[in-house]
Structure 1
Amino acid sequence: MTPGKRAERSLDALSFFVSDARYGLGAFLGVYLMTEHGWDAGRIGAALSIGGLTGLVSQTPMGALVDSVRAKRALIAGATVLVTLTCLFIPLAPYFWPVALAGVVGALAGVTIGPTLAAISLGVVGPERFAGRAGRNEALFHLGDGMISLAILLTAPFFGSAVLFWSMGFTMIASVLAAAAVPARAIDHSVARGLPPGAVPVQGASAWRLLLGSRPLLAFAACGALFHLANASMLGLVAQKLALQNLGQGITLTAASAIAAQSVMVPVAAMAGARADAWGRRPLLLAAFVALALRGVLYTLSDNTAWLIAVQLLDGVGAGLIGALFPVVIADLSRGSGHFAAAQGVVGTVHGVGGVLSAGIAGQMVVRAGYDATFLAMAGVAALGGLLFWLIMPETRGMAQR
């Protein structure tokens, strides 16, 4: 097997297993703190927002680090280990400031994983094949996340919340082995940072200057911030609602909700990567906003457990499309700059503003107005984001190199 083929098979395994570390415990953390330690939605949102803010301000420097280092395999392996260790620390000290501190450390490592995986992939396959590779990465990421959620669903009734932490330990080891299996010589490090093969980056240029000098990047950043403002808190809120309505089954039902979404994200992400060059990026991203707005409205129509989990299928459409196409659009708009990972960090920072605000605002809205009013507000934000995207975001397929 050639180094390129070995590298792609190893990227498949890495994309699959790193899913458990990329976002830490995710929605399970809020349910765990609520059901095991009596936290309310407002306290959960406040603690998670601190880690979210850390991730927000660190994305650009961590992206610049990814661009500058050649040891990208070691970087993603180390980040995976660090995220896992912070999650394993939480049961030992389930109090506000220890949980917030663990979130800070985990955020610093977590924001490194996505850009590093994308950079390695770009360096292996090149820009011509990157859309398909990015879609495959995202599909395998969601498949891995769904399989872990299925394992939690099947084992949580017997072993309780401990299975959350066992699964993270297993996937950490598998991710490190997969990263080590990528042949170092298969990665073109100039291409991995968005340059032609063998090119030297321009000294003194910055990723923020790239963003501020590009109207399409600014539009993508602003619209994405609205998407994440609406989307980031939805799964967590549904998980909390299910946990309150079905005492003792919070972890199990959160896993079921995640599985429902992941079952759709896998084919949607694969389709987005396969068809992005033929159909363009813009119509696929518009569909993500439509799915998110519809999802927020549908949550309010019934409190039935089966209904809430079924509506979660729409999360697979929105998140699958955004996740698969985010690095593709950034690669389109940063080609030739040498700032591929840093540009992901800059735009991700703006998107992250929406995500951080979502966690804090939604938690307080639930306390004051209830779950249905919060879901409708999130749906309105998604609709606004979709309208703005339609008006100001151009098609990025085939844009000229900077």
Structure 2
Amino acid sequence: MPTKTSAPSPRRSLQALDRLNLTLGDVRDVFEPYLAIFLTAERQLDPAQVGIALAIGNLAGILAQTPIGAVVDATKHKRLLIAIASAVIAISYLLIINFSAFPAVLAAQVGIGVAAVTVIPAIEAISLGLVGQKGLNQRVGRNEAFNRSGNAVTAVVAGILAQITGLAWIFYLLILLCIATIVLVFQIRDRDINHTTARSGHSQTTGKDLLHDCPLQVFSLAVFLFYMANAALLPLLSQKLTGGQQAATPSGFISASIAVAQFTTIPVAAWAGKAADIWGRKPLLLLAFAATTLRAFLYALNTDPWFVVWVQTLDGLSSGIFAVTIVIVVADLTQGTGRFNLAQGGIYTTIGLGAALSNLAVGWLASTAGFSIAFFTLSAIAAIGALWLWFAMPETK
């Protein structure tokens, strides 16, 4: 009599997902600061051109984010999307390294902007498709912990490379990480991914329906205020330190600041996935807002380089909580709609808009009213976001 076979376990695919998250170098948080230095020092671009190049990449990502979310919902080739995005990032950085013409830099930045916003929703969809709604909280925390571990090590290695071999080798490191990502993503078995679960259900809810979802609207504004307060803090601090008598070596300061935040995020992300089940989502989000409020306030009072590097632990706390909790809250609000990734795309578009407006408005404020006023303003925005979340946002657990 033939024996009854059990359903295949996704354990091997989950282990491959762990390894994949280690190699996903964060283009924005880890490599973009070095890109600004490279374009200024190696390509002799003026600050306005560097600003345009970075803004073009961010704008391309903002415009692509929501459509990319819809594509991730619709396709069963999520692994291929990650591989293509990784290849585009690698080719784009090769273009920047080997061609100094400004139009080539702009073209590469467009490719990087679109590819960078493709990877995150695809990873989150694969995670949901592997573990389901019940296992998502801890899986997202685990993803973030592995990703931040890889980012922290990458930041340290990048800082060493910048000092020993030059800035260009930082981007060759990213290219190697992209190649590793392409190899590792196909170690996740497609048969282990439930593509219906990966988009959070069967329903054909439309984008218009999601736009009229009140809790999702409330959450979107809270996310916008958080990134409005948070995004400009480190760039603004870098400008103040490197432009004054306390000037630090840019690459060394950036590496230390990034590494401290990333190392702090590792245990925070692993803890946040579990705490979301125990405490609920709202208390975690309020804690993240409180950390950002305090961080901006402390930067307004003291910008000694060693002090501010350690204050970056607050960035690790707030960023780790938000990175995990955003995915969980959106999954809560879209369960059964079949539009998990579309809603995620909308939220990440909100993040991009908040970050872009933060850098634009606060940069102007710092130049006209001074750095301290700019930091106090960011602290106030974070406090307003906390009040909005407290009074308007329901618990989604």
The two structures have a TM-score, normalised by structure 2, of: 0.92
Q: Partner residue of 2:214?
A: 215
Kept in 1, the 8 Å contact 2:25–2:174? The answer is no
| 2:191 is the counterpart of 1:185 | yes
Q: Partner residue of 2:108?
A: 102
**TM-fit CA distance, 1:284:** 0.3
TM-aligned CA distance change 1:363 to 1:71, over 3 Å: same
| 2:15 is the counterpart of 1:16 | no
Q: Partner residue of 1:166?
A: 172
Q: Partner residue of 1:259?
A: 259
Could you tell me how far apart the structure 1 residues matched to 2:316 and 2:200 are?
29
TM-aligned CA distance change 1:325 to 1:148, over 3 Å: same
Equivalent in 126, 129, 132 of residue 135 of structure 2? 129
Q: What are the Cα deviations for residues 89-119 of structure 1, in whole angstroms up to 9, with x where unaligned?
A: 2234456554343222211111111110000
Q: Partner residue of 2:223?
A: 224
Q: Partner residue of 1:337?
A: 337
TM-aligned CA distance change 1:291 to 1:100, over 3 Å: farther
TM-aligned CA distance change 1:257 to 1:172, over 3 Å: same
Equivalent in 28, 33, 36 of residue 34 of structure 2? 28
Q: Partner residue of 1:400?
A: none
- Percent identity between matched residues is 36
Matched pairs, number = 390
Kindly report the root-mean-square deviation, in angstroms, between the aligned alpha carbons of the 2 structures: 2.2
Q: Partner residue of 1:375?
A: 375
Could you tell me how far apart the structure 1 residues matched to 2:207 and 2:293 are?
31
Q: Partner residue of 1:233?
A: 232
Gaps of 5+ in 2: 1-6
Could you tell me how far apart the structure 1 residues matched to 2:370 and 2:33 are?
19
TM-aligned CA distance change 1:165 to 1:248, over 3 Å: farther
Could you tell me how far apart the structure 1 residues matched to 2:239 and 2:67 are?
34
Could you tell me how far apart the structure 2 residues matched to 1:37 and 1:241 are?
23
Gaps of 5+ in 1: 398-402
TM-aligned CA distance change 1:352 to 1:182, over 3 Å: same
Could you tell me how far apart the structure 1 residues matched to 2:258 and 2:269 are?
16
Could you tell me how far apart the structure 1 residues matched to 2:238 and 2:151 are?
16
Q: Partner residue of 1:71?
A: 77
Equivalent in 138, 141, 151 of residue 145 of structure 1? 151
Equivalent in 50, 53, 73 of residue 56 of structure 2? 50
Kept in 1, the 8 Å contact 2:241–2:248? The answer is no
Could you tell me how far apart the structure 2 residues matched to 1:242 and 1:261 are?
18
Q: What are the Cα deviations for residues 234-265 of structure 1, in whole angstroms up to 9, with x where unaligned?
A: 22223344444576821121011100101111
Kept in 1, the 8 Å contact 2:30–2:155? The answer is no
**TM-fit CA distance, 1:303:** 2.9
SS at match of 2:76: coil
Structure 2 residue identity aligned to 1:330? V
Could you tell me how far apart the structure 2 residues matched to 1:24 and 1:316 are?
13
Could you tell me how far apart the structure 2 residues matched to 1:127 and 1:185 are?
18
The two structures have a TM-score, normalised by structure 1, of: 0.90
Could you tell me how far apart the structure 1 residues matched to 2:332 and 2:72 are?
18
